[in-house]
Chains A and B, each alone.
Chain A
Amino acid sequence: MEAAILLQQVANGLVIGSIYAMVALGLTLIFGILHIGNFAHGQLYMLGAFATYWLVSLWGWNIWSSMFVAMGLMALLGMVLERIAFRPVRSAPHINGLIVALGLFIALENIAFILWGGDERTLPSPYATKMITLLSISLTIQRLLVFAVSILLIFLLYLFIQKTKMGKAIRAVAQDPEVARLMGIPIHRVSSTVFAVSSALAAAAGAMVGPIFCVFPSMGLIPILKAFVVIVLGGMGSIPGAIFGGFILGVAESLGAGYISSEYKDAFAFAALILVLMVRPTGLFGKE
């Protein structure tokens, strides 16, 4: 019995962790390029979920095609935001970037509230209620899909970063923008690409959790906070850091709530972060 509970808790943690990882990946990519703590990222997650919701419920598309379209739309929005809001402040102090992101966060959330009201909507999905049980772990198929899809997307992103020319350029800029510019890498193209990719990831995360959780304007806050914890935990700008950080945080929370106290569930994430930073001031995978 105990073992079964433990397995179940770990599984819960991994599913949530995969969502954290998806959001955090985009965040860490953006930070690597622009050194901006992009709070607005959470709203792309929210808008991605809403886009999917409308495509499914209004036009009756199936969840997959809706998800891809939503990812495309959010990629565009991400590029637009980068162009009009973030590019102008890239040479300013980083804190300005943070305030800009906060401004966008507030604006986008309230726009969503004006357009669609505050009440929760459930995104219909054929996989939402079907349960499957393997070695005493029981999850809905949707949750398994969340996990699977995030692994897939993370893998694709990895290929993109490692193999493609643009991926190399992104790594170069993250290494040293000045040198990269001298080497003739188009910084602006790189940063807008990064925004597109990250926003698409966030949208995917939103679309995948829509059926499990609800879709509402303020749904972006908690994930973005946790994503910040994740990327700092893993080390700013570090892609493996974001991935492992996400899963570590998810499991830690789930075990903390399951075995210590659910009253302080949200405190564990932050306490864990502080402890890690005391030992490694630049996170698990961050370079000194």
Chain B
Amino acid sequence: MKETSRKTSGVFWAILALLILLPFFLSKAYLHLAVIIGVHAILALSLGMVVGFVGQLSLCHAGFYGIGAYTSALLTFSHWPFWLALPAAGIISGLFGLLIGLPALKTRGIYFAITTLSFGVIMNIMLNNWVSLTNGPDGLSGLALPDPIPLWAKTSISFNTPRNYYFLVGVFLLFTIFVCRRLLDSRVGRAFRGVRDNEVLAECLGIRALRYKLTAFTIGAIFAGLAGSLYAHYLRYICPRDFSFAESFDLLVMVVVGGAQTILGPIVGALFILALPKFFGFEPVYGRVAFGIILVVVMIYMPRGIVGSFQKGFPSPKGGAHGPS
């Protein structure tokens, strides 16, 4: 792993340079799209930790995303600074991840998928119907922008333009990538992959499968929460509709189509899925049809996802992304 990571770094820096240059010749609308893609890249990566790293098919990720968004929204309403509300959002949805993962991970495979789906739906119904807290379906309006970061004298970085926010989200995306990369190359990451590829063998080799599944699930929830906070304070308006189970499915599609077991995969997936409508702007409904068909074709001809299919030398994985069945 080590030396491969060193090799890839060249590629990584090239892409990074491209991404830093991008906002300077993008129009406002596309900057906005880029920010949204960035947020979803973080989300997809965090879901990738669950789906790709430990092979658990989770369908309540939008729920954690929503909890993060609402947490930081409500905290800033009670005059917390954004820079405290952001980590708080991560922690709170991390806690939810722990609470939900503990019972849910007792089930396996499709049972786990549907259990998490149920939790996701319930979380969304709560956001929608608990009017006194969340203001119900009309959502929370008028969120504050992140407070400017003072540099020296009078100058400070403010986040009132999409470009600056683009860089803020970019930094967090890099942080997420960094964490994923480090995790994958470590003892923990090896345990993750062991559990994913052959849970029985892993347990016989002394790996506590449940603990590591829960770890991945919780870390995923934390980053989803952070993404939620970033999203909320960019759009300055949130409503339950954004965090429905449909969103969970979109995220899953991003992860799997991009390549669940890679780090680049979910990011490419997010880019692919969110940029696609741009190419069907003339007839959106036909675009949706094409989108559906593209999903089918990609899954048939690129079973490991777009990025995964570029990695040679692996046998086609059997037994399912959710462990041996």
A residues lining the B interface (CB < 8 Å) = 31, 35, 37, 85, 88-89, 91-100, 102-111, 113-114, 225, 228-229, 232, 236, 263-264, 266-267, 270-271, 273-274, 277-278, 281-283
Contacts of A96 in B (CB 8 A): 256, 299, 303, 321
B160-209, CB < 8 A from A: none
- Complex: how many Å from CA A273 to CA B110? 13
| Cβ of B253 under 8 Å from chain A | yes
A88-B300 contact in complex given A102-B295, A107-B293, A232-B110, C-beta closer than 8 Å: yes
The distance in angstroms between the C-alpha atoms of A71 and B260, with both chains bound, is 38
The 19 sampled A-B contact pairs (Cβ below 8 Å) are A35-B325, A93-B320, A94-B109, A94-B110, A95-B320, A95-B322, A96-B256, A96-B321, A100-B296, A103-B292, A106-B288, A106-B295, A110-B286, A114-B286, A232-B110, A267-B122, A271-B118, A274-B103, A274-B115
List of A residues within 8 angstroms of B117 by Cβ: 225, 228, 270
Which among A113, A225, A236, A263 is the interface contact of B129 at CB below 8 angstroms? A263
> Which of B286, B299, B325 contacts A100 (CB under 8 A)?
B299
Give the docked Cα–Cα distance between A74 and B110 (Å). Answer: 26
Closest chain B CB from A268 CB (angstroms): 10
| A95 to B305 alpha-carbon distance, docked (Å) | 11
Task: Give chain B residues whose Cβ lies under 8 Å from the Cβ of A271.
Answer: 118, 122
Chain B positions 204 through 233: 1 when the CB is less than 8 Å from some CB of chain A, otherwise 0: 000000000000000000000000000000
CB distance B321 to A94 under 8 Å?
yes
B42 contacts across to A, CB distance below 8 A: none
What distance in Å separates the Cβ of A156 from its nearest Cβ neighbour in chain B?
A: 27
Query: A116 to nearest B CB, angstroms?
Result: 12
Assembly CA distance A92 to B296 (angstroms): 13
Known: A106-B295, A107-B293. A283 touches B113 (CB 8 A): no
Q: Does B249 contact A (CB under 8 A)?
A: yes
CA distance A97 to B303 in the complex (A): 10
How far does the Cβ of A28 sit from chain B's closest Cβ, in whole Å?
11
Extra inter-chain contacts (20) besides given A110-B292, A282-B111, CB under 8 Å: A37-B113, A88-B300, A92-B317, A94-B322, A95-B321, A98-B252, A99-B252, A99-B295, A106-B291, A107-B288, A107-B292, A107-B293, A114-B286, A225-B117, A263-B129, A270-B121, A271-B122, A274-B115, A277-B106, A281-B107
Residues from chain A with Cβ under 8 Å of B129 in the complex = 263-264
Q: Is the interface of B mostly helix, strand, loop or mixed?
A: helix
- Min CB distance, A255 to chain B, in Å? 18
- Do A104 and B300 have beta carbons less than 8 Å apart? no
Query: Is B39 located at the chain interface by the 8 A CB criterion?
Result: no
B316: chain A residues at CB < 8 Å are 91-92
Name the CB-closest residue of B to A95: B321
Give the distance in Å from the alpha carbon of A88 to the alpha carbon of B111 in the complex.
24
Interface 1/0s, chain B 283-308, versus A by CB < 8 A?
A: 00110110111111001100100000
Q: What 10 A-B pairs have minimum CB-CB distances, sorted nearest first? A: A107-B292, A103-B295, A270-B118, A106-B292, A95-B321, A93-B321, A94-B320, A110-B288, A92-B303, A103-B296
B 100-133 contacts with A by CB, 8 A: 103, 106-111, 113-115, 117-119, 121-122, 125, 129
Q: Is B318 an interface residue (CB 8 A)?
A: yes
Q: Evaluate contact between A229 and B318: CB separation under 8 angstroms.
A: no
Report the nearest A residue to B252, measured CB to CB.
A99
- Residue from B253, B286, B296, B322 in contact with A104 in the complex, judged by beta carbons closer than 8 Å: B296
The complex places the Cα of A190 from the Cα of B289 at a distance, in Å, of 29
Q: Is the CB of A228 within 8 A of B114?
A: yes
State in angstroms the CA–CA spacing of A45 and B171 once bound together.
46
Is B92 an interface residue when CB atoms closer than 8 A count as contact? no
Interface residues of B in 249-265 (CB under 8 A from A): 249, 252-253, 256-257, 260
Whether A103 and B119, one on each chain, are in contact in the complex, defined by CB atoms closer than 8 angstroms, is: no
Partner of A266, one of B114, B121, B253: B121
Q: How far is the CB of B272 from chain A (nearest CB, A)?
A: 13
Residue from A91, A102, A270, A274 in contact with B253 in the complex, judged by beta carbons closer than 8 Å: A102
Instruction: Say yes or no for B57: interface residue by CB 8 A criterion.
Output: yes
Q: Mark B45-84, 1 if CB is under 8 A from A, else 0.
A: 0000001000001000000000000000000000000000
Interface presence of B150 (CB below 8 A):
no
Which of A91, A96, A104: most chain B Cβ within 10 A?
A96
Is B319's CB within 8 Å of the partner chain A?
yes
Which single residue of chain B is at the shortest CB-CB distance from A113? Answer: B285
Task: Say how far B322's CB is from chain A's closest CB, in angstroms.
Answer: 7
Within 8 A of A (CB), among B129-152: 129
Give the residues in chain B near A106, CB-CB below 8 Å.
Answer: 288-289, 291-292, 295
Count chain B CB atoms within 10 A of each CB in A94, A97, A266 and give the residue with the most.
A94
Distance (Å) between the CB of A263 and the closest chain B CB?
A: 6
Interface pair A93/B319, CB less than 8 Å apart: yes
Of all chain B residues, which has the CB nearest A31?
B110
Name the CB-closest residue of A to B107. Answer: A281
CA distance A81 to B117 in the complex (A): 25
Q: Are A273 and B103 in contact (CB under 8 A)?
A: no
Q: Indicate if the CB atoms of B118 and A95 lie closer than 8 Å.
A: no
Least Cβ distance of A129 to chain B in Å? 33
